[in-house]
């Protein structure tokens, strides 16, 4: 396991779990076998996150753009998420994990069983505090910002909000999960150097770590290695480093 500064563990890590299809293709398997192989990787990472004492872990499980895939793959992913939330929910609960969801779950394309499993998991785990695990499902950062803008417009039209007073806080409070802190670190697997509509608003000052490892091969050791890379970064937030190498706040 990478040598980590236990006093500088990021509070919130986001993961773009990518590369399932390529992992499967490389083995002559159907893409869906890659999604199934991603499940143990996710659970190893959750255990790693608990070990490290992360407060928040957000995983990108289905994007608003993923509907454009072949209907068979989309259907598999919907069913897979229903199964996973059903099979693993109690285990996560026992581990003290609080499950939360971001994304457009009211979208009519989201099957009812997915919606009901989400609500049940949220309800069951609502008092847990060991790890907040956010499941980004039918999630798109742009859709999230558009929804916030729509709410602001509706409130302003109803005279509940002064349009001239709209600021960053006004928008932030209308995100899917206002209590979620911004991610300190966002990891993307599979060697792609993009964020694909993940946490567009919240990632303004996140550190980005890209790894060539395909998601099914990722595990808690890889998580620790990514966090070690994060710990080597200078987070300046637009400030400057003075001649002594200290960051001016």
Judged by beta carbon, residue 135 or residue 230, the one nearer ligand IPE is: 135
234 is catalytic: no
What's the token pair of residue 100? 């939360």
Contact call for residue 22 and ligand IPE (CB under 6 A): yes
Q: How far is the CB of 50 from ligand IPE (least distance, A)?
A: 22
Question: Contacts with ligand IPE in 82-141 (CB under 6 A)?
Answer: none
Q: Establish if 227 lies at the interface with ligand IPE (CB under 6 A).
A: no
From the list 102, 86, 117, 85, the residue with the least C-alpha distance to 14 is: 102
The sheet carrying 131-139 orders its strands as 97-102, 131-139, 56-63, 12-16, 185-188, 207-210
CA pair distance 137, 4, nearest whole angstrom: 31
Residues 6+ apart with CB under 8 A from 124: 89, 93, 99
> Strand pairing partners for 136?
60, 102
DSSP 121: H
Q: Residues 29, 43, 66, 67: which binds ligand IPE (CB under 6 A)?
A: 66
Rounded-to-integer distance, Cα 176 and Cα 99, Å: 14
Smaller CB separation from ligand IPE, 9 or 216: 216
Beta bridge partner(s), residue 60: 16, 136
From the list Mg ion, ligand IPE, none, pick the one residue 63 interacts with, judged by a Cβ distance below 5 to 8 Å according to partner type.
Answer: ligand IPE
144 belongs to the binding site for Mg ion (CB under 5 A) = no
Catalytic residue among 20, 25, 66, 159: 66
- DSSP conformation class of 182: P
Residue placing its CB nearer to Mg ion in the complex, 18 or 144: 18
**DSSP 8-state symbol, 206:** -
Binders of Mg ion among residues 6 to 35 (CB under 5 A) are 18
How far, CA to CA in Å, does 204 sit from each of 111, 183, 198?
Answer: 32, 9, 11
Closest CB 196 distance from Mg ion, rounded Å: 8
> Is 66 marked active-site?
yes
Contacting residue, 194, 233, 235, 236, with ligand IPE by CB under 6 A: 194
Which of 9, 16, 41, 42 is in the footprint of ligand IPE by CB under 6 A?
A: 16
Q: Looking at 3, 5, 7, 18, which residue is catalytic?
A: 18
The answer to whether the CB of 136 falls within 8 A of the CB of 175 is no
Q: Under the criterion CB under 5 A, does residue 222 sit at the interface with Mg ion?
A: no
Contacting range for ligand IPE; rule: CB under 6 A; set: 1-9, 103-111, 163-171, 192-200: 192-200
> Which residues of the shown chain bind ligand IPE in the complex (CB under 6 A)?
16-22, 60-63, 65-66, 77, 190, 192, 194, 196, 215
Residues taking part in catalysis: 18, 66
> Which residues of the shown chain bind Mg ion in the complex (CB under 5 A)?
18
């Amino acid at each position: 396991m990478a040598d980590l500064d236990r006093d500088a563990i990021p509070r919130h890590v986001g993961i773009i779990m990518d590369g399932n299809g390529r992992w499967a293709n490389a083995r002559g398997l159907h893409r869906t076998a890659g999604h199934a192989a991603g499940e143990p990787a996710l659970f190893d990472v959750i255990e790693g996150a608990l070990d490290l004492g992360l407060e928040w872990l957000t995983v990108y499980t289905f994007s608003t753009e993923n509907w454009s895939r072949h209907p068979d793959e989309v259907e598999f992913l919907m069913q897979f998420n229903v199964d996973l939330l059903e099979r693993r929910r109690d285990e996560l609960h026992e581990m003290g994990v609080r499950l939360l969801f971001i994304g457009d779950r009211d979208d009519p394309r989201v099957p009812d069983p997915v919606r009901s499993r989400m609500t049940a998991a949220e309800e069951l785990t609502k008092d847990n505090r060991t790890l907040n695990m956010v499941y980004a499902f039918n999630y798109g950062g742009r859709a999230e910002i558009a929804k916030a803008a729509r709410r602001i417009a509706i409130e302003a039209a109803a005279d509940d909000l002064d349009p001239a007073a709209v600021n960053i806080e006004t928008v932030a409070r209308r995100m899917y999960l206002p209590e979620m802190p911004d991610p300190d670190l966002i990891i993307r697997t599979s060697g792609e150097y993009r964020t694909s509509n993940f946490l567009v608003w919240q990632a303004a000052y996140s550190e980005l770590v890209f790894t060539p490892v395909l998601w099914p091969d990722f595990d808690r050791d890889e998580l620790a290695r990514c966090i070690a890379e994060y710990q080597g970064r200078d987070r300046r937030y637009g400030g400057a480093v003075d001649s002594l190498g200290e960051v001016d706040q």
